Chain A
Amino acid sequence: MKAVSTIEGRAIPLGLKNIDTDVIIPAHWLKTVSREGLGKGAFETIRATPGNPFDVEDFAHAPILIAGDNFGCGSSREHAAWAMLDMGLTAVIAPSFSDIFAGNAFKNGILAVELPQEQVDRLLEVAKDHPITLDLENQVVTTPFQDRFEFRIDPFRKRCLLEGLDEIGLTLGSESAITKHEQMREGAMPWLDKPSRRDAA
């Protein structure tokens, strides 16, 4: 994972609630075996609507998206995070996120920042004409107007993002604990270890 620290730039003021992952990337884009190139299909239905914020020239290559409640609900498709990265988005601000999307965003180095609705409303207003800044180290979102909104983040996720850690590499460091658990499991719950093979059924 690429390390993340400060993200500064224009923010697309989308603001809609319940943006589901079918909206972020429709299913017909999922027929790929790669993580690349999904930006073309990102927010396809919204971008097909005249006057949508993605079409505004100022927001081309904006690194930040501001959305409403329950962003990323629905399907677990990580293609949603890949599509956003591919269109240049590295941070999303919303009042709340679905659990699975928040995880997928994190795994791809996308900073998902939860702020109360009134602060999100303020940022939606500011973002129309001005850049905003997300500072992960200090856990704060700022604007050119002295706004200063602190956000919370899981300390483990923060560390992984700041250091660009490979989570699988970290877990493999717990090899002996995993093996120990497997031995315990084999003794206490042997049925979990031996699903009968189909050909033996």
Chain B
Amino acid sequence: MASKPRTLYEKIWDSHVVERLDDGTCLIYIDRHLVHEVTSPQAFEALRLAGRQVRRPDLTLAVPDHNLPTTARVAADGSRLPIEDAQSAAQLAALERNAPSFGIDYIDAVAPEQGIVHVVGPEQGFSLPGATIVCGDSHTAAHGGVGALAFGIGTSEVEHVLATQTLQLRRSKSMEVRVEGPLGPGITPKDLILHIIGVIGTAGGTGHVIEYRGRVFEEMSVEGRLTVCNMSIEGGARAGLIAPDDKVFAYLRGKPYAPKGEDWDRAVKWWHSLATDEGATFDKSIVIDAADVEPTVSWGTSPEDVVPVGGRVPSPDSFADPSKQEAARKSLDYMGLVPETPIEDIAVENIFIGSCTNSRIEDLRAAAEILKGRRKAPGVRWAIVVPGSGLVKRQAEAEGLDRIFTDAGFEWREPGCSACLAMNPDKVPPGERCASTSNRNFVGRQGPGARTHLVSPAMAAAAAVTGRLTDVRKLPPCQADDG
């Protein structure tokens, strides 16, 4: 008898069940655990206090990213520069101490491979299709872009995984987000995911794991898929994933931690089986028409507050739900925006290109394409590019992108999370706006009083050039001579 058709999520879940309890809770095996400096110190400390070991240090990888400054880390004489903030320095020192003492591979702050965990995982081939991947960070969903079941966990769960290599979980519901038709010219994966969040809302995926389906995703690059899955959490879903295919396998092949030789061949065979079966059903299904997706910008303080760049700041009265009206009023007040203002009339003083959503090489290329032969507008006071990893940075430099950015008036920084969450010194000043390629426009997210407009890398570049939020399609790449 043929087995019941299953979704991609169910297949990964089923293959990781260690034990099923009577009440439906399952003990799930974790294949990969990424650890960073901010959400791990309390977990390591608790292990020590309980006299426990890390069960599988070989399945664990540590790298600092959240609170590292993105200014130079090494002095001219090759010595390491100290971190000025004493608390940040102590947190980094704790990871530097904890990783080796528990036998965990550690990529240190000055290693060429250092970067944002969610950029490093796929880039190192540590994140694999069909694997369960966790990290003490909600944007772990990103790794779903290679076909993994990846989700963020709290510090108690970090401790639980370190000690047992498992988590006690209940199976989530499944949700299909099906996108029909192709994206228009100049529309990026970031625009698509912002649009999707606008449609489903920030709680639309709560309790669910999203599978993104449709030709759009098959045609999308692996990096684009990482961007889409990354923001699943902004739609409330702890995880989002896309069926792995030959593009993913080609992307991973030869990466340092990826399987080799016979292991690789066996892995690819299994990975090919990881698509949702014909006839499998989802608990919830959303259909998006790709033709509706425009270059998208956030106007408020929730990632669901999005509008096409050609649109206007909405009026709170335009929302049917009274509590949403109230929330919109509060958001507009915080954002300093007047209803009905055309989005393209909004001036920005800061530009941030970076974060685990948009700091990979394709993101930097897309921004550089717009900035080539141009300069940031006089009203733009601060513009930074923070590559997602040392390897992205090196690749960008090999392609001359760093020069394009610096010629345009951007600062070219060291890798890390930076102004996405403003834990390190990279902050947007109070009351100022930032066109940001990051993932959250929450109150105070980029610094106290900072006003964030979420956009794609190309749109951030366009805003830098004009000093206003701008439809990037009006700024064709400059045909400047390459001299």
| B475 interfacial contact with A, CB 8 Å | no
| Per-residue interface assignment for chain A, residues 142 to 167, with 1 indicating a CB less than 8 Å from any chain B CB and 0 otherwise | 00000000000011100000000001
Q: Measured between alpha carbons, how far is A196 from B156 in the docked complex, in Å? A: 28
1/0 contact trace for B163-188 toward A, CB 8 Å?
Answer: 11110101010000000000000000
B127 to chain A, nearest CB (A): 10
Q: Are A22 and B259 in contact (CB under 8 A)?
A: no
Q: Which of A167, A177, A180, A192 has the most CB of B within 10 A?
A: A192
User: Chain A nearest CB: distance from B258 CB in Å?
Assistant: 7
Q: Which residues of B contact A155 (CB under 8 A)?
A: 23
Residue of A nearest to B160 (CB): A168
Q: At the interface, is chain B mostly helix, strand, loop or mixed? A: loop
Residue of B at shortest CB range from A33? Answer: B41
How far is B204's CA from A70's CA once the two chains are assembled, in angstroms?
10
With A30-B423, A31-B88 as contacts: A156 and B58 at CB distance below 8 Å: no
Residues of chain B contacted by A154 (CB below 8 angstroms): 23, 25, 170
Decide: A108 and B156 in contact? CB cutoff 8 A. yes
Near B by CB (< 8 A), chain A positions 1-58 give: 16-18, 20, 22-23, 26-28, 30-35, 45
Is A130's beta carbon under 8 Å from chain B? no
A100 touches B327 (CB 8 A): no
Total residues of chain B contacting the partner, CB 8 A = 87
Contacting pair A99 B52 (CB below 8 A): no
| Given A22-B445, A174-B27, A178-B27, residue A196 in contact with residue B153 (CB < 8 A) | no
Determine the residue in chain B with the shortest Cβ distance to A95. B203
B126 within 8 A of A: yes
A73 neighbours in B (Cβ, 8 Å): 202-203, 236
The CA-CA distance from A170 to B136 in the complex, in Å, is: 21
Contact B105 A74 (CB under 8 A): no
Residue of A nearest to B138 (CB): A76
How far is A168 from B52 in the complex, measured between Cα atoms in Å?
Answer: 10
B257 engages A100 (CB within 8 Å): no
Q: Mark B252-292, 1 if CB is under 8 A from A, else 0.
A: 00001111100110110010000000000000000000000
Question: 3 closest Cβ contacts across the A-B interface?
Answer: A191-B259, A107-B156, A78-B154
Chosen A-B contacts, 16 in total, with CB atoms closer than 8 Å, are A17-B323, A18-B202, A22-B421, A26-B444, A27-B421, A28-B422, A32-B87, A74-B138, A77-B38, A103-B157, A168-B50, A171-B163, A171-B164, A172-B163, A177-B19, A189-B267
